Amino acid sequence: MKYKETVLVTGGTGFLGAHTIIQLLQQGYKVKTTIRSLKRKEDVLEMLKNGGITSFNNLEFTEADLIKDTHWNDAVKDCKYVLHIASPFPSGEPKDENELIIPAKEGTLRVLRAAQKAGVKRVVMTSSFASIGYSINPDNHVFTEQDRTDPHTKIGAYIKSKTLAEQAAWDFIKTQGNALELTVINPVGMFGPVLGKDFASSVQLVQHLMSGKTPAVPKVYFGIVDVRDAADLHIRAMISEEAKNQRFLACADDGTSLPEIATILRLQHNEFTKKVTKKILPNWLVKILSYFKPELKLVASQVGIIKTISNEKAKKVLGWKPRNKEVIITDTADSLIKFGIIK
């Protein structure tokens, strides 16, 4: 089969990166991907095999780091599209916010500069709901792509890094982009089937619940999206003319909460069902605990807050059809068992 255009996917070792590569290869594209060290090449190949890929003739690896200038020109060479997915995602709040902000912002600009220089048609950048939903009172508000987080308000380092990186990307396109097009995808909490040991931090919530490591859960509500649907949305945004210079929220039709995820997991019939807690932490207790455990500060700031998020634009403009939360959580759990991540 003659392959379609060449696409660069940054962050091939990542959860979303690997799923996106799988779908691109299945659709006949030639794929180049960046990884910080070529020592991780076999890890990526293993994940792709677990995702059903049997031929790697149309896949090429380039060693490139978001905090270094080297090799980005090689990475984007001959590419029509770039899916810039790579970005640091911490398990906790860093001591210095610049540990996240600098690689997120400067890395994005490195990719855009290289893409513009190489004559790439469009960059699709993975941003986050973080750059949309943290500066507006959520009461009676439906969050859409029109909303933007104010980086000058009191927000966590990760939220700030995604906000500033996306702002920098739009500023670059406006002032230096020339013919280069930009589309931004803003996913909410990402779940779905893991392909190996590399997966989103959000999946750890399911992992900890199933292993019994979480004795009780706070009433934290959030949007949810399947990684397979997020990958699909990136590809749709890559090829649609209507997606040029647009943002798209990637979220399922309904949000969820940690207590609801626990309930979905307990309804499954596997050996881990009974380990999933039924206990719910009162909001006041979470806030008190956050004074003694700094890693709970972000959670404490969000307990009891319900945000309504619209995915109408992605469905209407790009014909996107996301999975529902029951399927997403069930498939996440099944994959964690399948690959022995929970034993």
pLDDT tens digits, residue range 249-260?
999 999 999 999
pLDDT tops 60 at residue 322: yes
Of the candidates 39, 113, 104, the one whose C-alpha atom is nearest the C-alpha of residue 76 is: 113
Span 27-50, mean pLDDT? Answer: 96
Q: Match 């206990």 to its residue by tokens.
A: 279
Domain boundaries, the chain: 6-191+224-252+308-322
Element (H, E) at 222: strand 221-222
What distances in angstroms separate CA 184 from CA 61, 91, 166, 316, one per listed residue?
Answer: 24, 24, 8, 16
Q: How confident is the model at residue 179 (pLDDT cuts 50, 70, 90)?
A: very high
Antiparallel, parallel or unpaired: β 6-10 and 30-35: parallel
Report d(CA 69, CA 247) in Å as an integer: 27
Antiparallel, parallel or unpaired: β 122-126 and 189-191: unpaired
Span 16-35, mean pLDDT? Answer: 97
Tokens of 276: 């999933």
The pLDDT score that the predictor gives to residue 155 is 87
Where does 6-191+224-252+308-322 sit in CATH, by number?
3.40.50.720
Report d(CA 151, CA 128) in Å as an integer: 14
**What pTM was estimated for this model as a whole?**
0.94
The pLDDT score that the predictor gives to residue 302 is 85
pLDDT tops 60 at residue 91: no
Instruction: Please tell me the total number of residues recorded for the chain in this structure.
Output: 343
What are the φ/ψ torsions at residue 293 (nearest 5 degrees)? Answer: -125, 95
Question: How far, in whole angstroms, is CA 312 from its chain's centroid?
Answer: 19
Report d(CA 121, CA 118) in Å as an integer: 9
Q: Helix axis angle, 203-211 relative to 258-266, nearest 10°?
A: 50
Span 206-216, mean pLDDT? Answer: 94
Element (H, E) at 217: strand 217-218
Going by the DSSP 8-state scheme, the letter that residue 179 receives in this structure is T
Angle at 196 (CA atoms; ends 335, 26), nearest 5 degrees: 85
Per DSSP, the three-state class of 85 is coil
Give the residue ranges of DSSP H helices in 10-156.
Answer: 15-26, 41-50, 72-76, 98-118
